[in-house]
Structure 1
């Protein structure tokens, strides 16, 4: 009888769940997802893109430059002067050497301004520069 009472006392003791491994695993998963996430830099301006039959979806674009109908250039919600696009893209390429650029131009924007933005990107050293369009429905 004495042996049974001792077992019951041992069983009725408080049991604990060690949370440390669980918390460690959550932090490791959080770090993994933060590191593997690709961050896309948005233009920060809404434009009406022109339509094109040959438009195709690009899987990954590193930086998106927005060009409004008034000729203003936007990157990440900030307005840039056309002359400072080259300096911005050079800084961008220093951070992301294989980066690409997509110019999202309004369909009523001037072609000359679009060409200037494309030229500044090319002069900065961006190898993959494209113009965004939408597929007609």
Structure 2
């Protein structure tokens, strides 16, 4: 009788401890390298608008129809007149500006109006659709 020599295949093992170490190092790196930014959003402190004691001022409104003009109170004005109008607005505090844009109006003109309003010292600038 012959003896058979059965050879078992070699078992290879993968040492995972260096991989686990590398994962922890990457985790620490990304935690340290991440910058946490506080997003500006709506603050929880707002006035109660239901009370009659608050005098809400009407915002200074500019209209941008599809024709490409810039209108303020129905009169055509130039872009260079926006900042002086915001500065000269009567009131004790800086005015809010409402830019009403109709469909088909130039987006670049709306951006210029917003920039000029901010240069004029507007408290806030808001875009709104123009009622047709």
State TM-score, norm by structure 2.
0.51
Say what the alpha-carbon RMSD is for the aligned residues: 2.3
Runs of 4+ in 1 over 6 A off after TM superposition: none
Q: Which runs of 5+ in 2 are unaligned?
A: 1-52
1:60 deviates by 5.9
Structure with a larger share of its residues in helix: 1
Aligned counterpart for 1:88 among listed residues 79, 82, 85: 85
Q: Secondary structure at the match of 2:61?
A: strand
**Equivalent runs, 1:1-137 vs 2, <5 Å:** 61-92=58-89, 95-96=90-91, 97-133=93-129
Aligned residues: 76
Per-residue CA deviations over 1:41-72 (Å, capped at 9, x if unaligned) read xxxxxxxxxxxxxxxxxx86421110111221
State TM-score, norm by structure 1.
0.49
Q: Which runs of 5+ in 1 are unaligned?
A: 1-35, 39-58
- Of structures 1 and 2, the one scoring higher in RCO (CA 8 A, sep 6+) is 1
1:100 deviates by 0.6
Larger radius of gyration: 2
